[in-house]
Structure 1
């Protein structure tokens, strides 16, 4: 560029009058190499589930050139071009399970003393480096996960006590357990929409 104007390679410079601006154009690939940046156009989000590799495009990262998907051969212009790495949101365990189509828990709705409650049981436990993960835990790129399926068993009456505040060890007197108006034991199988009643004589607070 001479005097702020693009000129051909045959242009003859004028002594003392022409102002030269040299602009170097390099490709995206050359720029990354010169600056020792290890970046790919598309970097898949990769995890291992029980030693099997799985790529999740939903959470992958993409190199953008001026807001568009970059090309390694594209030329970068001085002063205006922008390169940025766009990454998808980091998934939680719940996001991951929904993405790969695995049901984490079974649910069943019942009524307890006139109030609706939802019972849940885990169908799978997920481990990372020997530690069990919760649904809210973040999953990292290149995580190695272990999935252990739980035996599918029915809900029974005693499962209710994981979801209500009731301390039977402090109760005195008779404990009356009913399902749909009929007396039951702690090991009675429950069905959806069952109506459960628990009454304790002389219950202490």
Structure 2
């Protein structure tokens, strides 16, 4: 048996343990039972530490980020943060500071992972720059135009990973007319009329562009606050277009009738638009397709003269004789350029 201090120490410990026994607290953490020394205050967090669980490991992972290119600049769109874990103490929501007692049941559930970034072009740009244009005395508020991977999109497009986004501004008159109005001026093919598939660039019938009161070109730059007006001139007639293209639109002769010079003419061609016949005075419009065919020459007869003169028969008596170059003629006799024609009344 030990003597001296060696005997006293064990005996002292035994006496102290018997008078002040050590108490343990048993709890379960995610179904695993653990024992802790009983202390004045034990919390859920203490139990998690004793169970070897790192609460940070139970946070949800952040959502996947997206990397996009905006006007040549790389931008990272972070995903949403993961959710924090959920703690239950005896099936009730708890926190790491919630007190625990012997026999309690603790459950920690992993937080949900964050979602991938959900961003529209409107979200990305936030306050997109706008400009104001006054067009034909009406105010237009102009937004940028967006393209994603070369395709036109609207502001509510949901951005995808690796998207290439281009933001364009309406900075010319032509672009403004195409994007913001119903004008057809911006479409090049509509600046032409086609006659037997031959293009005719419209000069008459074009549109005058006024920028801040001054005549300018359709491709001129446009600035915020500019005032723009379009003045349309008269459209060209079929006769003008065919004349410009060198078509023989009519057959003509000049004759003398009772000492009066007359210019006689007949249509030499037939013109159709959308299967409808046109007159020489018909107006043509951008994009019109005209089919032209030449008529076979029928020549002129004496009777054609009376379409160009008015005869006063009020005091005429007897009968008349028609003359062509001083020789008697009939109504259906052919006439030629330079002929001398006359009608002479004979008394009975």
Q: TM-score, normalised by structure 2?
A: 0.41
Tell me which residue corresponds to 1:69.
217
Q: Is the 1:49–1:144 contact (alpha carbons within 8 Å) kept by the matching residues of 2?
A: yes
2:286 corresponds to 1:141 = yes
1:116, distance to aligned residue in structure 2 (A):
2.0
Structure 2 distance, partners of 1:32, 1:131, is: 32
- Mapping for residues 92-107 of structure 1, pairs under 5 Å: 92-107=237-252
Structure 2 distance, partners of 1:131, 1:34, is: 34
Q: Is the 1:58–1:88 contact (alpha carbons within 8 Å) kept by the matching residues of 2?
A: no
Structure 2 SS opposite 1:117? strand
2:268 to 123, 127, 134: 123
2:224 to 68, 72, 78: 78
Larger radius of gyration: 2
Structure 1 SS opposite 2:300? coil
Q: TM-score, normalised by structure 1?
A: 0.64
With a CA cutoff of 8 Å and minimum separation of 6, indicate the structure with the bigger relative contact order: 1
Tell me which residue corresponds to 2:193.
47
1:109-146 per-position Cα deviation (integer Å, ceiling 9, x unaligned) = 21212222221111112222333222222112222322
2:337 to 177, 184, 192: 192
Q: How many residues align?
A: 176
Q: What are structure 2's unaligned runs of at least 5 residues?
A: 1-128, 133-168
Structure 2 distance, partners of 1:34, 1:110, is: 58
Q: Which has the higher helix share?
A: 2
Task: Give the superposed CA RMSD.
Answer: 3.7
Q: What are structure 1's unaligned runs of at least 5 residues?
A: 1-21
